[in-house]
């Protein structure tokens, strides 16, 4: 009987050992799945709204942190959100920055993306601009005019807000779909009567004596800009995602603490002089964290896009936003 008990005990020990080994193997496999990527493809845009990312890029912080994990960083620049969306749809980007409108449009179109942070917001950082000698002095005078716009950009919602506030609709104007880089030339040649744009283009146009602000987002729209992650990538690589967010926050903190040095460091990325960029940076709040105010604005943007038939499928903002990476990065 004693021998029988002895064998039973030995059997239980062996089974427990095997289960333990299998359990450890599963844990290691799961950990491996969470850090499978050897590359982080980052989508960036030459807009001052993403200045913290440019600081990080110039400083090499992201490369420095991810090199420890054996991960290479690849940067791709886009002029605006719509072409960046196309790259996300082709799974060529893993994490990127863009406005709320293209982010929501992409999600509605079936992209497997998540909002993992807020890159910045700033009501004065995007505006409707008219030529310096324009007779248009009030947004109500836009009726019957040609207005340049990057269709699908976050500035599109601003245009709608301004029109609504002046008892106008998009049917009252002619929208000319135009790249942000072509707007200054179009305004100077009077090919359009107004253009909806964002920084640093506004400052360039003002300083070049080409145009002036007719209306900005003050009391109309916060102007949320997003940090977007491709769902498959961020879910499988939470540690890399959290490192990205920490580095972005580090860039934000650097701008707040060293505005002059930051302007000197990244002005060339926006083809601005440092003194010009110093005027632009204070127009933004580089927040990184996602607040209740951000959620409210995003829901309003989604509602606008649906009402204008700019998206077909509803976007559930509460599900689109995923704060767990911010929490994992210790960002509040």
Question: Are 243 and 256 members of one domain?
Answer: yes
Tokens 């440092």, residue located: 274
pLDDT at residue 75, as a whole number: 98
pLDDT score recorded for residue 13: 35
The number of helix segments (H) and strand segments (E) in the chain equals 15, 10
- Two tokens, residue 109: 């179109």
- Domain membership of residue 193 (yes or no) is yes
Is residue 1 one of the residues assigned to a domain?
Answer: no
Dist CA 67 CA 191 (whole Å): 49
Residue 236 included in any domain: yes
Sequence-ordered strand ranges (E) for 193-290: 194-198, 211-216, 225-230
Last residue of a domain, one of 184, 216, 248: 216
Instruction: Give the per-residue pLDDT at 182.
Output: 97
Q: Are strands 39-44 and 95-99 parallel, antiparallel or unpaired?
A: parallel
The residue among 216, 239, 263 that closes a domain is 216
**Where is the domain boundary, 216, 251, 278?**
216
Same domain, 181 and 90: no
Domain assignment present for 26: no
Q: How far apart are CA 254 and CA 252, in angstroms?
A: 5
Instruction: Quote the pLDDT of residue 29.
Output: 37
pLDDT at 30: 41
**pTM across the whole model:** 0.86
| Contact partners, residue 210, CB within 8 Å, separation at least 6 | 131, 132, 184, 187, 188
Distance, in Å, from the CA atom of 303 to the CA atom of 310, rounded to the nearest integer, reads 10
Quick one: how far is CA 176 from the chain centroid?
Answer: 24
* Structure confidence at residue 8 (pLDDT): 35
Pair (239, 324) in one structural domain: yes
Beta strand 194-198 pairing with 126-131: antiparallel
Question: In terms of domains, do 50 and 70 share one?
Answer: yes
**Domain count for the chain:** 2
- Strand 211-216 and strand 174-177: the pairing is unpaired
Q: Are residues 158 and 290 in the same domain?
A: no
Residues 6+ apart with CB under 8 A from 136: 130, 142, 145, 193, 194, 214
pLDDT at 31: 40
- Whether residues 108 and 248 share a domain: the answer is yes
Q: Nearest CA to 161 among 300, 13, 25, 261?
A: 300
Q: Are residues 241 and 165 in the same domain?
A: no
Whether residues 169 and 256 share a domain: the answer is no
Check which CATH number belongs to the domain holding 317 and give it.
Answer: 3.40.190.10
Specify whether the CB–CB gap between 119 and 50 falls below 8 A.
yes
Give the pair of three-digit tokens for residue 128. Answer: 């409707």
11 found inside a domain: no
Per-residue model confidence (pLDDT) at position 332? 87
| Parent domain of 166 | 124-216
Does any domain span residue 164?
Answer: yes
CA distance 50 to 285: 11
Q: Is residue 302 part of a domain?
A: yes
Distance CA 217, CA 122 (A): 8
228 and 324 share a domain? yes
Residues in the chain: 332
Strands (E), 66-187: 72-77, 95-99, 113-120, 126-131, 146-149, 174-177
Residue 34: predicted pLDDT: 63
Mean pLDDT in each 10-residue stretch from start to end of the chain (332 residues)? 40 35 38 71 96 98 97 97 96 97 96 98 97 96 98 94 97 97 96 97 95 97 97 97 98 97 97 95 96 97 94 97 98 92
- Any domain includes 174: yes
Residues 170 and 299 in one domain: no
282 and 190 together in one domain: no
**Do 200 and 165 share a domain, yes or no?**
yes
Other C-beta atoms within 10 Å of 7: how many?
10
Sign of the Cα pseudo-torsion (58, 64, 70, 71, in order): negative
């Amino acid at each position: 009987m004693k021998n029988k008990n002895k064998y039973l005990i030995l059997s239980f020990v062996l089974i427990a050992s095997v289960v333990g080994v299998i359990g450890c193997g599963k844990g290691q496999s799961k950990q491996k799945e969470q850090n499978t990527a050897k590359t982080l493809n980052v989508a960036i845009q030459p807009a001052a709204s993403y200045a913290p990312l440019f600081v990080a890029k110039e400083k090499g912080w992201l490369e420095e942190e991810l090199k420890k994990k054996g991960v290479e960083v690849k940067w791709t620049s886009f002029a605006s959100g719509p072409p960046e969306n196309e790259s996300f749809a082709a799974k060529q980007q893993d994490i990127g920055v863009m406005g709320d409108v293209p982010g929501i449009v992409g999600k509605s179109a079936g992209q497997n993306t998540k909002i993992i942070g807020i890159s910045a917001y700033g009501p004065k950082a995007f505006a409707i601009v008219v030529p310096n000698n324009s007779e248009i002095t009030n947004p109500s005078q836009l009726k019957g005019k040609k207005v340049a716009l990057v269709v699908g950009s976050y500035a599109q919602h601003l245009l709608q807000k301004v029109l609504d506030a002046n008892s106008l609709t998009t049917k009252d104007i002619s929208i000319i779909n135009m790249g942000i880089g072509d707007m200054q030339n179009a305004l100077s040649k009077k090919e359009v009567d107004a253009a909806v744009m964002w920084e640093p283009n506004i400052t360039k146009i003002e300083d070049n004596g080409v145009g002036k602000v007719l209306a900005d987002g003050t009391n109309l729209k916060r102007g949320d800009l997003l940090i977007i992650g491709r769902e498959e990538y961020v879910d499988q690589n939470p540690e890399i995602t959290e490192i990205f967010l920490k580095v972005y926050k580090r860039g934000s903190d650097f701008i707040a603490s060293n505005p002059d040095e930051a302007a000197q460091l990244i002005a060339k990325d926006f083809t601005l002089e440092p003194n010009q960029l110093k005027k632009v940076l204070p127009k933004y709040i580089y927040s990184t964290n996602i607040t209740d105010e951000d959620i409210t604005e995003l829901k309003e943007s989604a509602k606008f896009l649906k009402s204008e038939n700019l998206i077909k499928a509803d976007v559930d903002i509460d599900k689109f936003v995923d704060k767990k990476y911010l929490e994992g990065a210790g960002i509040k």
